[in-house]
Amino acid sequence: MRLVDVEGLKDIAEIEFDEIVLGVEVTYINELRITLRENSFVEVWFSLKLEGRYSFHWERKAIDGTIYRHDNAPHKRWRRISTFPKHFHDGSEADQDCKESYISDDPEEALREILESPTGVDSPPLGAFRSQCLLIPRLLAAG
């Protein structure tokens, strides 16, 4: 079994996404929690038993009651999804909110895709939040 380099993922979150990331904690050898400045967090998990099994979970319940998660657990109920076992929970875990997931199989690229846009498209609210974080310093400098 090959362990995913969670320290490398931590560096990506802290360095490349510093405008939206408040902090990153490696919670176990295969897990990390990324706390975002908007008061939400992303939990990243890789299986120690099943190579390639993962979950990228964006928790926003305290903000607006939503969750967004890309994972590849082969639940029977998601067999209808064309990218099965990869799937995406778009706002909740309800059946109607489970969709195709097209994130990269490479953990580093997948993390970048999640932090850029968790849904794989122009994704409010994180995409909008990131845009605001990038715009505010420019406005202050121009001010």
Q: For the chain, what are the domain ranges?
A: 6-142
pLDDT digit string, tens, across residues 96-118? 889 999 999 999 999 999 998 75
The pTM of this model reads 0.82
Give pLDDT, residue 74: 94
Which contacts of 58-61 are long-range, i.e. CB under 8 A and separated by 24 or more positions? Answer: 58/114, 58/118, 58/126, 60/125
pLDDT digit string, tens, across residues 46-99? 999 999 999 999 999 998 899 999 999 999 999 999 999 999 999 898 888 899
More confident residue, 58 or 127: 58
Q: How many CA atoms lie within 13 A of 39 on its CB side?
A: 5
